[in-house]
Amino acid sequence: MFFRNKIIILSLFFLLVPMLLFTQTGKVLDKILKSGELRVGTSGNQPPFTMKAKDGQLMGYEIELARLLTDALEIKLNLVEKPFSELLPALEKGEIDVAMSGITITPERNVKFTFVGPYVVSGKSILAKAKRISELDEMGEINRGNVTVAALKGSTSQRFVETVVPNGKLTLTPDYDTAVKMVLEDKVDLMIADYPICVLSILRYPESGLATLEEPLTIEPIGIALPPNAFQLHNLIENYLNALEIDGILIELEKKWFQDGSWLLRLP
């Protein structure tokens, strides 16, 4: 009788646990659908992923992608601006539903969050005056103690500098505009950032003599960060992203924001 009761209890456990997990994981998506909006956290200062136009409106690859996703879901897009370093903590606290801001998918971040993607593959590069780039051709040169480096606070660029360039003098900035300005004004020797940001900074300031590397130093997948228990939301967004990829829309978005620089005219 004891073993029979034990088997019954174990059977109920294995039946109920998946049901409880399914109920919990469905709450995130259910809450979003009931509210009729998706709260997307973004920094608004990481071109070409997310940035502000002259009129103050947010634009960029991920902003347009977020609009496509919410249009498909037939819900409102609520863009929530926060400094990059505060985005994942805000997601953890439930202040936003997802985070889209050029966020690299890393093992450390995957411990706390789930990710949809990647939809873009980026990598770390160097932005500096052309003369400085030629002097710092080797990573060993960058690691000298007298080299000053700017990087975005809370980003994988910060971790890259701390790991690969431990002897460099690191200055953390709240956004990329500040870091680029420091390079332009010779307040730092270089900026470490995602390759597209370095390339676009050169296009944005064509007379400044800025330069970057021909190829990225690393390979980094970029995706959408979600809460760890939002499996149904993850599945839904992933399905829509797959549909956008099949339709060729993701390729067109990449061409628009990473290859065609006409949108630079809309920047302040």
CB atoms near residue 57 (< 10 Å): 12
Same domain, 78 and 190: no
- Higher-pLDDT residue of 253, 164: 253
Decide which of 192, 212, 232 is a domain's last residue.
Answer: 212
What is the pLDDT, as a whole number, of residue 77?
97
**Predicted pLDDT at 251:** 94
pTM, rounded to two decimals? 0.81
Mean pLDDT of the chain: 86
Does pLDDT of 19 surpass 80?
no
Q: Is there a single domain that holds both residue 166 and residue 89?
A: no
Q: Answer yes or no: do 8 and 113 share one domain.
A: yes
Which CATH number is 254's domain given? Answer: 3.40.190.10
Q: In whole angstroms, what is the distance from residue 66 CA to residue 77 CA?
A: 7
pLDDT of residue 167: 86
Same domain, 65 and 156: no
Same structural domain, 204 and 261: no
Q: Do 230 and 223 form a contact (C-beta atoms < 8 A)?
A: no
Indicate whether 204 and 257 sit together in one domain.
no
CA dist., res. 161 & res. 136, Å (int): 14
Domain identity same for 165 and 57: no
Domain region containing 239: 2-120+222-266
The domain total for the chain is 2
Domain co-membership, 9 together with 103: yes
Q: Which of 89, 56, 91, 115 is nearest to 233 (CA)?
A: 115
Tens-place pLDDT, residues 25-62:
458 888 999 999 999 999 999 989 999 999 999 999 99
Residues 92 and 11 in one domain: yes
Residue 217 lies in a domain: no
pLDDT band of 113, cuts 50, 70, 90: very high
Question: Do 82 and 154 share a domain, yes or no?
Answer: no
Q: How wide is the angle at C-alpha 107 spanned by C-alphas 101 and 113, nearest 5°?
A: 55
**pLDDT tens figures, 84-99:** 999 999 999 999 999 9
Per residue in 125-165, pLDDT tens?
A: 999 998 887 777 555 567 666 889 999 999 999 999 999 88
pLDDT in tens, 198-245: 988 998 898 999 999 888 888 899 999 999 888 999 999 999 999 999
CA angle 231, 94, 35 (to 5 degrees): 80
- Minimum mean pLDDT range among 5-14, 158-167, 178-187, 238-247: 5-14
The answer to whether residues 141 and 106 belong to one domain is: no
